[in-house]
Structure 1
Amino acid sequence: MTSTSATGPKLRRDAAANRERLLIAGRELFARHGLGVTLNDVAHHAGVGVGTAYRRFANKEELIDAILERQNEEIEQILHAALAESDPWTGLVLYLERSLALQAKDRGMAQIFAGRHGRPVKYDEGRDRLAPLVNRVAERARDAGALRADVTGTDLIFLQIAFSAVAAVAQDGPSIEGRDDTEQLYRRYLWIALDGLRADRDPSELPIAPLTTAQTHTLLQPTRQDQDMTHPDAKSRTPGGREQ
């Protein structure tokens, strides 16, 4: 009896530790290579057996969901910090800078943020949690007269998707002689865009209307191809080039 009671908590601690190692390893690999990485690759990177990985997560989608939950928590903290700023424009800039800094170094997060994720239900949960806060950041800046009147929260989302693409291009490209700052290239275009967002710049009339929140998330819903990419039975190339 004593042996069983001693073993139980130890097994639970070991299971929790292995789960945490897999979460960390998964996020590291998804950050570098995107969502095409396999659960086997994550297990090897975490230093645990493949069987252990599948006991903690039934498939790669479950691991992505767990990582997505942490990412949502991080973005939510940034949004609350932005809303706590006394100056609404400072809050808007804080939100864009900090969230983009996360996405620029984490390719998996950028793909999920852009709707490239195979579980629409989980994506919808994140949307319902974060979209009202993003809208509020934009609304506060508009009401304060700092943000041009025709810019909405969904515009901020699409700007982040665009800047994340710039970050991906810089990361994938060759090194440039004399420059050690190319991974920060997206920040240049962010600041150009911020000048265009300000209400005191006599802005041009925009050619089309913004999408609503509902329209934005319809557009960003995972496609069939995205679902195939993260499906546990789908073939995908690993970082080493082999097929799973």
Structure 2
Amino acid sequence: MSRADAARNRRSLLDAAAAELAEQGLEVSIARIAARAGVAKGTVFNHFPTKEDLIAEIFGDRVACLVTLGETLLEEVDPGSALLRFMTAGIELQANDRSFCQAAAAIPGSHPRVRAASERLAQTAETLTARARDAGMIRPDVTGHDIVLLLGAAAQAAAPLGNTMPDLWRRYLYLIFDGLRPECARELPVAAPTSDEFTAAVKTIPAKGAG
């Protein structure tokens, strides 16, 4: 098999796995994923030794897209607008992509692919946040780790009404973003997590039924 064929198979597997995960949940079988991708079951294991590795790759794949967007947004003239667009994309991903949420819940934070993706996301968020801080567009004590955690906060706040009000997360995004502005900011009672604390927390997040 050529390298191009292998890459196409891998891409097909990831797309099929993401679709099946979104439709069937964590209990979806490797055989079902292979059938949807149009490959043999053994081909799945040639690319991903375990189901957990496959699901971790889905998570990493989605995060990589968000990171790529964040890197592109570093070229934006308005740092505040760039940060808002990054947050919008991050929250929308969680609100609308069930496969991403399933993947995030299914694998432990100690998995190398998850850890690497999470660290790269935090670095990108910090770079965007630093630009907005330096421009005076957000309060000076906000960090990239704050931003990453707030992405989940907005998505989770809207989740109970997701089926009837699918865009409700946008309300909470803007409430959160307004809270980041420097006007009338008060001293926060607790410091932001450090890089070490954030990384340690990611490593200890347990899996929820990876199967």
Which residue in 2 is equivalent to 1:194? Answer: 177
SS in 1 for 2:17: helix
**Is the 2:94–2:152 contact (alpha carbons within 8 Å) kept by the matching residues of 1?**
no
Which residues of 2 match residues 198-209 of structure 1 at below 5 A?
Answer: 198-200=181-183, 202-209=184-191
Deviations 1:140-196 (A, max 9, x none): 11111110122111111111111232354334x5x4xxxxxx111111100111111
Which residues of 2 match residues 29-178 of structure 1 at below 5 A?
Answer: 29-32=20-23, 35-110=26-101, 117-118=107-108, 119-171=110-162, 173=163, 175=164
Give runs of ≥4 in structure 1 deviating > 6 Å.
none
Give unpaired runs (5+ residues) of structure 2.
none
Normalised by the size of structure 1, how large is the TM-score? 0.73
CA spacing shift, 1:83–1:190, aligned 2, 3 Å: same
CA spacing shift, 1:145–1:183, aligned 2, 3 Å: same
CA drift of 1:101 comes to: 1.9
Deviations 1:187-241 (A, max 9, x none): 11001111111112x0233221111122122223244x41x733xxx4xxxxxxx
Higher Rg: 1
Q: Distance in 1 between matches of 2:179 and 2:191?
A: 16
Which residue in 1 is equivalent to 2:196? Answer: 214
Report the RMSD for the aligned CA atoms in angstroms.
2.7
Deviations 1:70-106 (A, max 9, x none): 2232112111122111111011101101222222222
2:152 is aligned with what amino acid?
Answer: I
Q: Distance in 2 between matches of 1:203 and 1:13?
A: 53
Q: Distance in 2 between matches of 1:220 and 1:137?
A: 21
Normalised by the size of structure 2, how large is the TM-score? 0.83
Give unpaired runs (5+ residues) of structure 1.
1-7, 176-181, 235-244
Identity %, equivalent residues: 33
Q: Distance in 1 between matches of 2:194 and 2:24?
A: 32
